[in-house]
A and B are shown apart, each in its own frame.
Chain A
Amino acid sequence: MKKLILCGFAVLLLNYSKAQQTFPVNGVQDIRPGLYAFTNATIVVNSQQTIQNGTLLIKDRVIESVGAGTAIPKGYVVVDLKGKYIYPSLIDAYTTYGLPDAPRQAFTGRTITPLSTKPGAYGWNEAIRPEMNVKSIFHSDGSKAEAFKKNGFGAVQSLIHDGIARGTSVVATLGDERDNLVVLKDEAAANYSFSKGTAATNYPSSLMGSIALIRQTYLDAQWYNSQKEEYNISLAEFNRQQNLPQIFEAGDQLMVLRADKIAKEFGKKYVYKTDGDEYRRMDAMKATGSSFIIPLTFPDAFDVEDPLQARKISYEQLKDWELAPNNPALMEKAGIRFAITSFGLNNPRDFWTNLRTAIEHGLTEAQALRSLTEIPAEMLGVSDKVGTLAKGKMANFLITSDDLFKKENVIYENWVEGRQYIVSRVSAINLAGNYKLSGDGLAGIELKVTGNPGSYDLSAQRTGADSVRARGTFIRNGDMVTLYFDLKNKPSGTIRLNGYISNTSPLTLTGGATLPDGSSTNWSAVYSGPVPAAEHREQPKPDLSYGPVVYPFAAFGNAEIPKAETVLFKNATVWTNEKEGIIKNADVLIENGKIKAVGKNLSAGNAKVIDATGKHITAGIVDEHSHIAATGGINEGTQSVTSEVRIGDVLDSEDINLYRQLAGGVTTSHILHGSANPVGGQTMLIKHRWGVLPEQLKLDGAAGFIKFALGENVKQSNFNIPGGPNTRFPQSRMGVEQVYVDAFTRAKEYKAALAVKGNHVRRDLELDALVEILEDKRHITCHSYVQSEINMLIHVADSMGFKVNTFTHILEGYKVADKMKTHGIAGSTFSDWWAYKNEVSEAIPYNGKIMHDMGVVTAFNSDDEEMARRLNQEAGKAVTYGHMSEEEALKLVTLNPAKMLHVDDKIGSLKAGKDADLVVWSTDPLSIYAVAEKTYVDGVPYWDYDKDAAKQKELQADEARIIQKMLAAKNKGATTQPAGVGGRKRPVYDCDTIEDGAYVVADDYNGMLKSK
């Protein structure tokens, strides 16, 4: 005891050392040997090895030896740690310790900042800032260090949490000394994210833009090494950092997959810092082969007492509350290597609470220790210095009362680089127990002290004639104690005692008392035995059961992803979309995801037979123009030409609209970039496979498409932000033409250069996509309204040597249908939309009919997550307006879009060999009365009206179960959060939606513009 107090003193003077040799000394030099021997401790050397009764010798900053039966040389301060534990100090693999807060850029309206304004020979985009390095701005911060040290951390990775390429981080100890002494590794890792942070450059404003920028940067960096004309610090630094560990702050489980796609493309291996959602797609996480840094940010329970208010909580939020604490354990079970960080916790105190929660949910203590010591040390290349207790490593260790992960454990001291930091001074003796109190007027009183060192509860009782029991207060400050209690009777009023630990065997507290009447007396309390175990109320075991993970992790997800079936649909009206036309009383047989036969009286074989008498069967609906199932913004409208961005990079397989539209018979959707700029991004054709991973939504073998746009949106006519200068070119239909001429002129020059100089040409993702168009490998679907602009693009295409595949929207297609026919251009339009802006003031619902009659391949599309689920009715409007035959009308939303998307060999009609994408309707599918009863994609029954009812019940039951659990948790004192704070809904997009939410902290570049 005495010794401990002594060494506490030594620290106060803060005077050591030889390490800092270059600094002059003011006054008399005061170099102390810093020799300590910690004896009789249980030393947990690492997660594999524990030494009982061991001795740890340290010399100044470094461990001299760890072992049992070590002879202690002379000159050492001996600290007896009998009954106590020594652990390596923890390492937090992800912090911003020692760095200034990233400045939050004020919202200044829509400023146009196309290029970096940062002075110096840096790259064009401020979000790519690998030139930033923590080593040059790091400054240790005593008060922040303390919060970490209290939790047992001895070293951290410190990184700049701002930007896409964020430069290098350091590993530093939490020592309270000169920065020169605490930095363990000056360039620990290169850090990345999808978020551009405070970068003022407008681009990127979307997730797909961030991804394109990262990909382009890898290409630029490769090119940079082989060129001599340009000096670029950003690219030079980017290249130099490739040998460091690469850490990517990804976010949720799908973000990890997005980042991993980049990693695989460029032969990188990232360590992923995540949001802790891995449990939602554990197999896919494992398949990345990467290591992870996971947080302990488990959500609080919600306030669910008010059932109406509770409706604002999503199923995902409910499930997450229950499942997130299992994430570390499930990661361990899956065999994924991971570090644990305290990053993201609202309060540092939550760290141990949540870590223990994770352990309660199955995380092993050994794994927890590894994830907080050895693994982060290895990840960051500092395992020669920290992470375990071994000779030569830094003297970073914890002294604890118990097994580190036990609930009762107290961290007494956290030594960082051989310097003591006292976490909990009350470390010497546990004062819990029964005591007999003596002193004038105090005789007969027994004190019962319960609790842990640091926090005791007191009750006082007197037995016999004046039997009484009272709660009191017990405060300990080192060896000093203060107690008070009110017996209510004989005497009544508060008795106040102060004193000190006067003897440790038997444990005795002695001091002076002040009685309620003001008189003073002496007291002493002698330990009479432990508080009987029976009086420790055993905490009821928490309910650790949890519901299944559903795929996708959303309402109506399935615990098991449904499989393809072999089915014979009997006796239906079958709309073949083939020369057989509409066949009554016909059968359809599907097998292995394909249509096997269509015709009358087919034999079932081993197929499940579904009686479809009175029903209609059609091919699945194909939506040529959709913006569902994509995340992080649908427009990268910050430049006029953004052909480098790809919707395929940002697919969101968890969008409820995938399911809702299955319930409207939709099986295939063409997900388009928005219409904010003349050359938008690359599109992606997906199938509504509810529950698969984003990559698995893609329709294999489909030709690539790209979105172009004309008219009011690209010239920003309807942007009305007060004072916002609209200066991005173009601002008129005249300018739009020049954007195309310029882009394709550049593309042709690029193509020519590639042919001559090959690999020496800087690869340009934007121009690559345009070259694909010139080579007819990528097709254009162009947002268009009025005849003048349609005519214009046809002319530009002719003169530049490319083809327009589809005009989408094309509401004045009826005015130029002859030209479209001549050029073989398809038209994908709305059934009846008009009057929502000036360029649609002559849009008519007969448009589709006229284009169709003129021989243009014509489709009706949605551009709207609601309309998409009743495209069958929209097709029906071709009957209302213009009396198109029903057979041809259905093709507007099935075969014709399949044709214009170049996938009519796979989908769009009911024909043997095509994909088994079909819908069973209750009646004529074009009728307002038609209900999609069953929808199959690749033979998989993803939608079934009857089964959906059961699914709704299951969903309701699971929600109710979790809500009951939340109520129970709240009753037990769990902290809760109000329901309905923050958005629960994912944003929905149409063409005009310009939004950059999560990817731009600084720049509220745009609001949401709604309309087509």
Chain B
Amino acid sequence: MKSFEYVITDPVGIHARPAGVLVKEVKSFAGSTVTIAKGDKSVNALKLMALMQMGIKQGDTVTVTVEGGDEAAVCTALENFFKANL
């Protein structure tokens, strides 16, 4: 299991557009389960609506956890994704 923390900088937070792109991205990592957590709530990153319903806003710290598959590579790819889109 590998994880990283990220502080959201997008002014609208994890809104529909990046959430959609994120789900797509996560889908491509077939062997890994990706979880996104804020505080004590967490959600499977494949679940678009549940992810949006977390109401993650600018300034929120999220923890992204990767389990299974090439954990290190997926973690790096996702970290880059967050930096570029969120």
On whether the two chains bind one another, the answer is no
Q: Using CB atoms and an 8 Å cutoff, list the residues of chain B in contact with chain A.
A: none
Q: Using CB atoms and an 8 Å cutoff, list the residues of chain A in contact with chain B.
A: none
